[in-house]
Amino acid sequence: MSTSIAEIRDAGTASVREVSDALRPGHDRRSAGDLEIRGGVDRAYVHAGGALVVDGRAGGATLACGGDMTLAWAHSCAIAAGGALTLLGPGATDCDIEVGSDMVARAPEGAIRSGLLRVGGRLDAHELAGREGARLRVVMEAGDARGDLVRVDVIQPGVEIVACGELLRFDRRHERVVISVAGGRAVLTSS
The residues spanned by each domain of the chain are 2-189
Q: Provide the CB-side half-sphere exposure for 20 (13 A, CA).
A: 23
Reply yes or no on whether the pLDDT at 189 is more than 80.
Answer: yes
The Cα 18–Cα 143 span in angstroms is 36
Give CA torsion, residues 171, 165, 97, 122, to 10 deg.
90
| pTM of the shown model | 0.87
Q: Give backbone dihedrals phi and psi of 39, rounded to 5 degrees, phi first.
A: 120, -165
pLDDT at 22: 67
Given this model, what pLDDT does residue 21 score? 65
Split at pLDDT 50, 70, 90, the class of 6 is very low
Q: Which of 7-21, 59-73, 113-127 has the lowest mean pLDDT?
A: 7-21
